[in-house]
Amino acid sequence: MPGGRDCGANTVRFVSILASALDTRGAEYAARREAMLARLAELDAEHAKALAGGGPKYTQRHRARGKLLARERIELLIDPDSPFLELSPLAGYGTGFPVGGSVVTGIGVVCDTECVLIASDPTVRGGSTNPWTLRKVLRASDIALRNRLPLINLVESGGADLPTQKEIFIPGGQIFRDLTRMSAAGIPTVALVFGSSTAGGAYLPGMSDYVVMVQDRAKVFLGGPPLVKMATGEESDDESLGGAGMHARQSGLADFLAADELDALRIGRSIVARFNWRGRGPGPPGPAAPGPRHSEDELLGIVPEDLKVPFDPREVIARIADGSDFDEFKPLYGSSLVTGWAALHGHPVGILANARGVLFSEESQKAAQFIQLANQIGVPLLFLQNTTGYMVGSRYEQAGIIKHGAMMINAVSNSRVPHLTVVMGASYGAGNYGMCGRAYDPRFLFSWPSAKSAVMGPAQLAGVLSIVGRQAAAARGEAYDEAADAAMRTAVEDQIEAESQPFFLSGRIYDDGVIDPRDTRTVLGICLSAAQSAPPGQPGPPGRPDGGSQAGYGVFRP
Ligand code: COA
């Protein structure tokens, strides 16, 4: 295990401090750093779009109404000077919808309690829910449920984005289902209603455990006055149909009537303070941890622009692990995958990191063993991805690359400890699966601006299509059109290259955000702390009273 351990009379020190071979004065480092900084500038520009919400016109109108912006509400709700880990800020990127998804989600600390916050942004099309808003909100609820974090909705929304209702109406019911499942699982849910919460949106407060409404501002009804007039002929007004005062005094939907927005935020904090939430999970990680011995700033200069050039992930680990202390496991075996023990902000972690991109049988078996070891001792796993996938070729097929890759995927799928994934570089093919990509349910997954993900690289994919096309033409006895083939390859390569980009994938909520490599340790520290609210699952498959196989894995084929 990492670091020193006081074993009674003898203090045993383990020497596992990583040295660095990074030449920070060399041209290679400078070029990599420059490329990363350029991509970070692009990332800042996209984040700025999310921060700008609906733009100056709608922001000024909102302020003129005496209202706070979504991020201001969050800032006043969380503990002073505490961090807020924003999730999915690029939602909607490249889709034609505004970047940010008209909602802000993330993890913040409220009265010493880590919570998931979901705040609609009323400056973007009335805060209405478009398909990317929905995916972003469902991901935030999933994070709350899986990590057992209380959920606070800061509501002011025009409900479904009406022109795209077909994409959201039916799947959108999950928002309300998740709220009540959380409640049933003992995870408190709170709705602070600042403005409109109409139609389906009325079930946000309706399904929450605690509801606070702002006097003269919150409006919660199934149908507004025009709809009621149409449906029943009744003449009504906003206040009698769904005003905060009515809900606090008559319908009983509001548990607290707030005098204004600040009062609602204060009441929200006092609700959380009484959750009696501390003490869940395995407890605090212990005394303050030492930072890495090597500068986190140097994380900018490690990943090459050309991902075909390998890099040593130990250089990354040396800049994120406490004290740069990494106790490598099986260093001489399956050396394309680095495995070992470290700690981050005092949280113990097992790390799996790709070294030379390709995964062979040895790497797969080593990974499966390492994952089992982490499960045996209940230590979370961190996957640092830079993989081109499992090795192809007759030699490797004959040696059982499929069954060994399957073994690794089996171990990843059935592992019960929290998983965190960072896509640093390539994430291609089944390597994405074995290294705990999005479909393998890591508690959190972040990408660096250097990340790229697809079924295979653009040139390989276009080349495969070309070979298949050539064979098909030969089978038909036709001549192959070389000019058309060249045009097809260029078009396909461009398309796959664009679709492999991290902003594009983040826009589709295939990760929880693209982060500055320098923030990796901080982001992972917040995630590890959040993840410990939900202890690892019990071994053995559910539904087997005898617990089934001891570790709860699928059948391995050695
Ligand atoms: N779907 C699509 N667009 C919507 C929308 C929705 N549900 N709600 C608002 N918008 C758009 C508006 O058309 C307007 O666009 P424009 O500026 O390009 O004309 C923009 O968002 C701002 O709306 P506006 O009405 O000017 O803002 P407001 O702050 O004065 O009022 C609401 C906000 C939400 C109270 C009001 O827009 C409203 O009642 N919307 C419809 C609510 C509803 O019935 N939803 C049904 C859900 S199932």
pLDDT tens digits for the chain (558 residues)? Answer: 444 455 554 555 556 999 999 999 999 999 999 999 999 999 999 999 999 999 999 999 999 999 999 999 999 999 999 999 999 999 999 999 999 999 999 999 999 999 999 999 999 999 999 999 999 999 999 999 999 999 999 999 999 999 999 999 999 999 999 999 999 999 999 999 999 998 888 999 999 999 999 999 999 999 888 889 999 999 999 999 999 999 999 999 999 999 999 999 999 999 999 998 865 544 456 677 899 999 999 999 999 999 999 999 999 999 999 999 999 999 999 999 999 999 999 999 999 999 988 999 999 999 999 999 999 999 999 999 999 999 999 999 999 999 999 999 999 999 999 999 999 999 999 999 999 999 999 999 999 999 999 998 889 899 999 999 999 999 999 999 999 999 999 999 999 989 999 999 999 999 999 999 999 999 999 999 999 888 676 544 444 445 444 458 889 988
Rounded to whole angstroms, how far apart are CA atoms 99 and 89? 7
The protein residue whose alpha carbon is closest to atom 27 in ligand 1 is 126
Which is nearest to 506 in space by CA: 98, 99, 70, 34? 99
Cβ within 8 Å of residue 163, ≥6 positions away: none
Rounded to whole angstroms, how far apart are CA atoms 302 and 21? 11
- From 62, 198, 217, the mutation candidate for ligand 1 (largest count of ligand atoms within 8 A of CB) is 198
Ligand 1 pocket check for 2: Cβ under 6 Å: no
Cβ within 8 Å of residue 469, ≥6 positions away: 480, 485, 488
Ligand 1 pocket check for 161: Cβ under 6 Å: yes
User: Which pair of tokens denotes residue 253?
Assistant: 């939907």
- From 125, 166, 175, the mutation candidate for ligand 1 (largest count of ligand atoms within 8 A of CB) is 125
Rounded to whole angstroms, how far apart are CA atoms 142 and 134? 12
Ligand 1 pocket check for 158: Cβ under 6 Å: yes
Q: For ligand 1, what atom is nearest to the CA of residue 124?
A: 21
Rounded to whole angstroms, how far apart are CA atoms 203 and 222? 9
The protein residue whose alpha carbon is closest to atom 33 in ligand 1 is 126
Ligand 1 pocket check for 199: Cβ under 6 Å: yes
Asked if 193 and 205 count as a contact pair (C-beta separation under 8 A), the reply is: yes
Q: How far is the CA of 158 from the centre of ligand 1 (A)?
A: 5
Q: For ligand 1, what atom is nearest to the CA of residue 223?
A: 44
Given the DSSP bridges, would you call strands 347-354 and 381-387 parallel, antiparallel or unpaired?
parallel
- From 62, 69, 128, 220, the mutation candidate for ligand 1 (largest count of ligand atoms within 8 A of CB) is 128
User: Which pair of tokens denotes residue 356?
Assistant: 């030379």
Q: Where are the alpha helices (DSSP H) in 437-481?
A: 458-475
Q: How far is the CA of 249 from the centre of ligand 1 (A)?
A: 28
Ligand 1 pocket check for 98: Cβ under 6 Å: no
Ligand 1 pocket check for 160: Cβ under 6 Å: yes
Ligand 1 pocket check for 516: Cβ under 6 Å: no
Residue 136: what residue type?
K
Ligand 1 pocket check for 159: Cβ under 6 Å: yes
Ligand 1 pocket check for 198: Cβ under 6 Å: yes
